[in-house]
Structure 1
Amino acid sequence: MTRAVTHASLAKNGSPGNPLIDKAIKTVCIGLAVLTLLALSLGYFYKKGEGELPVYTTAIERMVDGSEIYRRDDGKAFTYPPFAAVPFLPFLALPTELHPALWYIVYICVFFYVFRRLHLLVVDWAPGQSNRKQRRIFWIILMLLVARHLSSVFESKANDILMLLLMFEAARLAADQRYRLVGMWAGVAAAFKATPWLFLPVLVWQRRFIAAAILLAAAIAAHLIPDLLFPRSARGSWTMSWYSTFLADVSLDKPVDAEGAWTAWNHLNQSLTATLYRLSTPFDPSAVHALNINLWQLEGKSLSVLNIAAQLTVLLLVVIATKPIASSTGLQRFGQVGAVLCGMLLLSPMSSKSHFAVLIIPLSFCVMEFLRDLRRMVIGIHLGVVFLMGTLTSKGIIGKDLGNQVLALGSVTWITLATLTATTYALHRKPIAAQHNG
């Protein structure tokens, strides 16, 4: 009798099936997992050294003093628009040894915000308990595909974490049809890096003229802020100094090559033009890179024609992907921003590994589209290509030497092109039911 009462009491107050206890255990487990992840990420962050952070803090320090920030003779040159230095102003109030700690906090806050907001979007795209399993599978697949790119940002400590925030906000607001704010954030991003200017013709193409005007105004205002706050001692505009130092010789039909900043043959540059250049350039054993990945030999006009044709193909895919859709869904609008991001990465003169963190946006769209209709095998095949050429070719899996070889072949370039193709296909392919009915 006593044993029966005890069991009854346990069942009432604290049996393994008690929802309160289950929730408490779940909360503790999640908390421990988060703390473990933070500890591991902190160790990884500091293990990789200062990375690119001193480039930005040195730039803002010089800008405040009015001295030149664009110098080709720097070990690591600051090659961004002048506004890109402004967010690092708070670092000047801290000792140098505390800069990595503040930058780490920024990283964690941005990642938390992006993943939290993305979680809410996923719940909206696949709502209810019936889709709970689908949401879990979504996160598993997505992390398998993007973890490499997110870790690259951590490794380099690049300002691409801020670009990720700006571009994610643009995608989230587009999903919510708040295009004026999309224009504002895209304009700020265009003053941070040049490639988000691609949003301007896209917004015009979609007949969102007010958003396009806001983008233009925001970008111009952001470009002027450094001149107003921190005038150059040598007079003139910071933006013009940036252009004359690094951009004047940049051409769309050949890889960027500016002394002190970029070299034409650089296996870390995963832009479309740079990859085609590496594949077309004969092997030179005396060169610093010493990687024989030459597949064909093209130079001069022939290589320029190939580059222009490839870039026009990318532009065509972006135009098709961003074509206005009648009664578009939030997921589709999110995906259209993702297509623009793919175009930015491929068309940029310089796209290093850390730039590709924004692929989380188009890949989120592709994974969700695939899970909502598993018969869309074209999307599934492209995601498989991304996994094989991206995740499975990381240096932690295949080693540094082979990893560099695969990277030189343009592995990240091709997975970005595959992502753009899958995104374009998913945006304009009729649902299965509609095909059967029509």
Structure 2
Amino acid sequence: MTIDLQPARVRRQAIPVLAATMLPVLCLLLWHPWNATMGDLRVYHAAARAFVHGQDIYTIPGLGLGFTYPPFAALLFAPFALGAGFARVLITLASAASLLVIGWTTARALRWGPLAAVGIAFAALAFEPVWSTFGLGQINLVLLALLMPALVGRTRFRGVLIGVATGIKLTPGIFILYLLMTRRFREAAIACGTTAGTLLLAYVVMPRATIDFWTKYVFDPSRPGPPHYISNQSLHGAIARLSGNSAVPLWLLTATVVGVAGLLIARRLHDRGLEFDAVVVTALTGLLVSPISWTGHWVWIVPATALAWSRCSAVLSWRTAWAVVLTAVFVTGLPWWLPFAHDQEFHYNAVQTVVANAYLLCAVGLIGQALNSDARIRYTWRVRS
């Protein structure tokens, strides 16, 4: 089948292709809610029930880990209060549909056809961050589906979508900084205003919870879990494992340097016309500098890996070898192969330390590849001139 990449023809082909694949994707995933623990969804469900019944969403007994999102997220999770089973099906269907959105926007950004979009959605199911998101009942894929059209699509609601995503979970706020760095001040202002609107709405509905979150719980590092746990693939996690959780100032300094450098690189890529590369670098920078980046949060690796494969110009090349290694790390969930929990993370040898931080190191490699793409463009410009 030959795919015509003219926009009108692509749209006509995409509708039947995506419609034909939606049902099997959802059917493929429908079994998952009944076989997974969905521990994070249990927290969402409890927070939704607390909100509906007028209780404090941040002091729910018997959960182990507390609800860590802004109060606005609890408003959106309110349908989960209808029942745990309903919540499990709803989050799975929403995540499955999100995969199609992610596949479509990624393929379009890379100028691939609609069949490639479906292929990306299906291939994503093999990645550990994706099946971890399904298994825990997290909202990572839903947030990514909100952000991808805003960042690499052609929507007029870029600022609104980024603002809503930031209101649900604070980490997408790095894309507001990205808008500022790339001098898109109007869209950045809309994103800030939308985020402020989510905060105001939450305050009107849950004033006490909103005040408590912004004055107390947002500064409590113990709520998400121990930073040294193997699942935390951020700079904070790596430093905590190496130092025994005692180097917070070092992490803050490192995160500041990496954050500024990552955003400067993203702006450079944007200015060179490498918009998709710039967005991926910004997302990876956010994962690196966040205090907690559980492996399930790394769903950005789906578009990032597609981007890496799109740069492969020959079968036998370092770019192809890199794409193979990158795919293997995230398909196998390499850090999980180590002994973990019960503070075993503090006793890794040199080789185990590399494996324990595999996602983080891959992010550094992807940022380096983006810089290499920029260097190739500059070299081409010099040769042509």
**Partner Cα separation in structure 1 for residue 333 and residue 38 of structure 2:** 25
1:179-219, Cα deviation, whole Å (9 max, x unpaired): x6222211111111112221222212211110111011000
The answer as to 2:32 corresponding to 1:44 is yes
**Partner Cα separation in structure 2 for residue 109 and residue 276 of structure 1:** 36
Which AA in structure 2 matches 1:437?
R
Shift of residue 273 of structure 1? 1.4
**Partner Cα separation in structure 2 for residue 83 and residue 127 of structure 1:** 37
The match for 2:216 among 234, 239, 245 is: 245
**Partner Cα separation in structure 2 for residue 90 and residue 160 of structure 1:** 18
Change (3 A) 1:39 1:375: closer
Shift of residue 146 of structure 1? 6.5
The match for 2:77 among 88, 104, 115 is: 88
**Partner Cα separation in structure 1 for residue 98 and residue 120 of structure 2:** 20
Change (3 A) 1:104 1:220: same
Structure 2 partner of 1:274? 237
Bigger relative contact order, structure 1 or 2 (CA pairs below 8 A, ≥6 apart): 1
Structure 1 partner of 2:358? 411
The answer as to 2:327 corresponding to 1:387 is yes
> Are the counterparts in 2 of residues 183 and 214 from structure 1 also a CA contact under 8 Å?
yes
The match for 1:204 among 169, 176, 180 is: 180
The match for 2:263 among 311, 318, 324 is: 318
The match for 1:155 among 123, 135, 145 is: 135
1:43-71, Cα deviation, whole Å (9 max, x unpaired): 23321133321211221222233321112
Change (3 A) 1:222 1:106: same
**Partner Cα separation in structure 1 for residue 80 and residue 37 of structure 2:** 17
Shift of residue 114 of structure 1? 2.5
Give the TM-score, by structure 1 length: 0.70
**Structure 1 residue matching 2:157: 3-state secondary structure:** helix
**Structure 2 residue matching 1:68: 3-state secondary structure:** coil
Change (3 A) 1:88 1:53: same
**Partner Cα separation in structure 1 for residue 379 and residue 162 of structure 2:** 34
Structure 2 partner of 1:360? 302
Shift of residue 343 of structure 1? 1.0
Change (3 A) 1:309 1:76: closer
Matches within 5 A, 1:210-359: 210-228=186-204, 230-232=205-207, 236=208, 238-248=209-219, 257-258=221-222, 260-281=223-244, 300=247, 304-305=249-250, 308-309=253-254, 311-323=256-268, 325=270, 328=273, 332-359=274-301
> Are the counterparts in 2 of residues 272 and 347 from structure 1 also a CA contact under 8 Å?
yes
Change (3 A) 1:50 1:126: closer
**Partner Cα separation in structure 2 for residue 391 and residue 95 of structure 1:** 32
The match for 1:59 among 44, 47, 54 is: 47
**Partner Cα separation in structure 1 for residue 65 and residue 325 of structure 2:** 34
Change (3 A) 1:147 1:209: same
CA-atom RMSD in angstroms: 3.8
> Are the counterparts in 2 of residues 145 and 391 from structure 1 also a CA contact under 8 Å?
no
Highest CA radius of gyration, 1 or 2?
1
Length, aligned pairs only: 359
> Are the counterparts in 2 of residues 341 and 358 from structure 1 also a CA contact under 8 Å?
yes
**Partner Cα separation in structure 2 for residue 437 and residue 376 of structure 1:** 27
> Are the counterparts in 2 of residues 142 and 364 from structure 1 also a CA contact under 8 Å?
no
> Are the counterparts in 1 of residues 181 and 263 from structure 2 also a CA contact under 8 Å?
no
> Are the counterparts in 2 of residues 321 and 427 from structure 1 also a CA contact under 8 Å?
no
**Partner Cα separation in structure 1 for residue 38 and residue 97 of structure 2:** 19
**Partner Cα separation in structure 1 for residue 324 and residue 333 of structure 2:** 13
Change (3 A) 1:394 1:45: farther
> Are the counterparts in 2 of residues 187 and 217 from structure 1 also a CA contact under 8 Å?
yes
Structure 1 partner of 2:4? none
Structure 2: segments with no counterpart, 5+ residues:
1-15
Give identity over the alignment, percent.
Answer: 21
